[in-house]
């Protein structure tokens, strides 16, 4: 029986299985440690064009699982059983794109060395990264962030999933997302953790800690944070900062769509402690204010939240609160405080449901 080896990701967690793939009469039979899967030939699609030395990713149409292998290791009979996978019938433009991306990466890396323009180069290069690759990076970093939070706090971190609280949060998120177009499906995860913080992962995921919801005095304070984090998502700030801080190796990996589990783990740690520049914070503030105005929601809550957080500084470890990752100045407080007032973000009943969201908890992966 023809077979080959590869790496398997289920699309639901950051785990990667080393698998053996056998060519059956009707599809691929995939086996690994505590894993069995069957992929019918007519539902398999190639996500990448094969070229020398590069990994080839296969997907099952309609599913999120991915199978990574080497094109040169695939048995020729596979292309007889699944002729649509043949190189000539896939997307030849990907070779040109990746080759161009590689050339640009080399030029930009040289610019880093010669001109030390790391932030500028990171911003330029981010525009070359497809949104789908950024989303995959963010999903891979999600579990890593959960594990790091557990290590830092000494307790297991679970996702908060009380149905009424999720419904209130999804209603608020939907209104904010619809107000201003953004090329991401925003996914909000509430984590049962005392940290008074929230931050955006690459690709549209936003993490909110239980501690922030408990600290907030009104739904307007939380909606202000959400609108601000959506600003970071829209401008791809977290991806830019990762490429800036983690260096040329990570830079090349993201640009060429080849991020290993080790890099994802480092990315998760960096994202957890990431601190944005005043320029990035100002951009996210402006976009957040525009989003709140378009929705008709009250933007002044974020000013109230910031003022109370300033009084909290020094009372808890620095990494525990929002100001450690989102530097504050008086101008930012004044900007939100001077904005025209709007409607309350949630009804009292919906706000109470959201505050009770951690009464039901579940697994972090795909919890939103």
Q: How confident is the model over 113-145, as pLDDT tens digits?
A: 444 445 555 566 677 677 777 887 787 778 777
> CB burial class (10 A; 0-12, 13-18, 19+) of residue 357?
buried
pLDDT-based confidence at residue 270 (cuts at 50, 70, 90): low
Distance CA 162, CA 167 (A): 9
What's the confidence (pLDDT) of residue 29?
A: 95
CA 109 from centre of chain:
24
Mean pLDDT of the chain, nearest integer: 77
Q: Phi-psi bin for 21: left (phi > 0), alpha (psi -120 to 50), beta?
A: beta
Domain 3-89 bears CATH identifier 1.10.10: no
Q: Tell how far CA 320 is from the center of its chain.
A: 21
What size, in residues, is the chain?
A: 368
- The predicted-structure confidence for 16-51, as pLDDT tens digits, reads as follows 788 999 999 999 999 999 899 999 998 898 865 444
pLDDT of 131: 79
> Tokens 């525990």, residue?
320
What is the pLDDT confidence band of residue 311, given thresholds at 50, 70 and 90?
Answer: low
Domain boundaries, the chain: 3-89, 131-362
Integer Cα distance of 118 and 247 in angstroms = 9
How many other CB atoms are there within 10 angstroms of residue 41's CB atom? 18
Contacts of 73 (CB under 8 A, 6+ apart): 4, 5
Which pLDDT score is estimated for 122?
58
State the sign of the Cα–Cα–Cα–Cα dihedral 209, 299, 337, 238: positive
Q: What percent of the chain has pLDDT over 90?
A: 25
Residue 244, both tokens: 């800036």
Q: Which pLDDT score is estimated for 171?
A: 93
* Residue that has been written with the tokens 């009372």 in this structure: 315
Cβ count near 226 (within 10 Å): 26
Beta carbons within 8 Å of 102's beta carbon, 6+ residues apart: 255, 256
Largest Cα–Cα separation, the chain: 71
Measured on CA atoms in the order 80, 81, 84, 86, is the torsion positive or negative?
negative
**Per-position DSSP letters for 264-320, written without gaps between them:** HHHHHHHHHT----HHHHHHHHHHHHHHHHHHTB--THHHHHHHHHHHHTTSS-GGG
CB-based contacts of 214: which residues, under 8 Å, 6+ apart?
A: 355
């Amino acid at each position: 029986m023809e077979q080959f080896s590869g790496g398997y990701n289920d699309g639901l967690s950051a785990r990667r299985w080393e698998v053996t793939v056998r060519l059956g009469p009707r599809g691929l039979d995939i086996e690994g440690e505590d894993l069995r899967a069957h992929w019918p030939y007519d539902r398999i699609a190639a996500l990448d064009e094969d070229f020398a030395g590069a990994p080839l990713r296969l997907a099952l149409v309609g599913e999120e699982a991915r199978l990574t292998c080497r094109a040169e290791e695939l048995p020729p009979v596979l292309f007889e059983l699944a002729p649509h996978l043949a190189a000539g019938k896939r997307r030849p433009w990907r070779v040109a794109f990746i080759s161009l991306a590689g050339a640009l990466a080399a030029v930009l890396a040289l610019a880093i060395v010669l001109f030390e323009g790391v932030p500028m180069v990171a911003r330029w290069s981010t525009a070359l990264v497809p949104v789908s690759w950024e989303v995959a990076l963010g999903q891979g970093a999600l579990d890593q962030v959960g594990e790091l939070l557990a290590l830092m706090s000494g307790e297991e971190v679970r996702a908060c999933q009380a149905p009424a609280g999720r419904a209130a949060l999804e209603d608020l998120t939907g209104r904010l997302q619809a107000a201003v177009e953004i090329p991401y499906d925003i996914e909000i995860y509430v984590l049962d953790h005392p940290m008074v913080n929230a931050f955006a992962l690459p690709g549209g995921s936003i993490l909110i800690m239980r501690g922030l919801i408990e600290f907030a005095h009104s739904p307007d304070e939380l909606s202000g944070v959400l609108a601000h984090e959506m600003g970071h998502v829209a401008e791809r700030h977290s991806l830019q900062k990762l490429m800036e801080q983690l260096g040329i190796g990570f830079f090349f990996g993201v640009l060429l769509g080849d991020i290993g589990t080790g890099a994802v783990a480092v990315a998760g740690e960096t994202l957890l402690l990431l601190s944005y520049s005043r320029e990035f914070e100002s951009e996210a503030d402006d976009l957040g204010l525009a989003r709140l105005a378009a929705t008709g929601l009250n933007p002044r809550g974020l000013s109230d939240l910031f003022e109370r957080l300033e009084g909290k500084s020094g009372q808890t470890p620095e990494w525990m609160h929002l100001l450690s990752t989102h530097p504050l100045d008086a101008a930012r407080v004044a900007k939100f405080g001077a904005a025209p007032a709007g409607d309350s973000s949630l009804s009292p009943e919906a706000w109470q449901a959201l505050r009770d969201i951690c009464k039901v908890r579940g697994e972090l992966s795909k919890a939103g």
